Amino acid sequence: KAGVTQTPRYLIKTRGQQVTLSCSPISGHRSVSWYQQTPGQGLQFLFEYFSETQRNKGNFPGRFSGRQFSNSRSEMNVSTLELGDSALYLCASTLRATGTSRGEQFFGPGTRLTVL
């Protein structure tokens, strides 16, 4: 089985722009979660989608949004980019919704976003 894929792998944007990141989960996995990783804040949960519905949300401003499609692929969008949004954005998939699967989440390689 192919693993979790994320596109693009690297992205450079300027302040004020918006960006869309894409995540394709492992085939058959229905839950997709997004995380932000920065040197200062570490790994922080953004949100989780299951069956096209947002089930969980972290403490991020409304500029961060996401969605999930019927094939379980997910996108996250960041509008009005700020310098502090520079980070590695990781996507993870799991078979069932987080908290019910009793299993691990499978992570993609991440998208490295740099905001200039």
CB atoms under 10 Å from CB of 76, counted, come to 22
For residues 74-103, which are near other proteins according to CB under 8 A? 90, 92, 97-100, 102-103
Q: Least separation, in Å, of the C-beta of 43 and other proteins?
A: 4
Alpha-carbon distance of 113 to 116, in angstroms, equals: 10
In the list 21, 78, 110, 113, the residue contacting other proteins (rule: CB under 8 A) is: 110
Determine the residue type at 13. Answer: K
**Interface with other proteins by CB under 8 A: which range of 14-22, 43-51, 67-75, 77-85?**
43-51
- Local structure of residue 91 (DSSP, 8 states): E
Residues of span 60-79 touching other proteins by CB under 8 A: none
Minimal distance, residue 41 CB to other proteins, in Å = 9
Nearer to other proteins (CB atom), residue 22 or residue 98: 98
- Which has the closest alpha carbon to 21: 44, 4, 39? 4
Q: Are 77 and 66 in contact (CB under 8 A)?
A: yes
Nearer to other proteins, 42 or 62 (CB): 42
- Binding residues for other proteins, rule: CB under 8 A, are 4, 33, 35, 42-45, 48, 55-56, 58, 90, 92, 97-100, 102-110
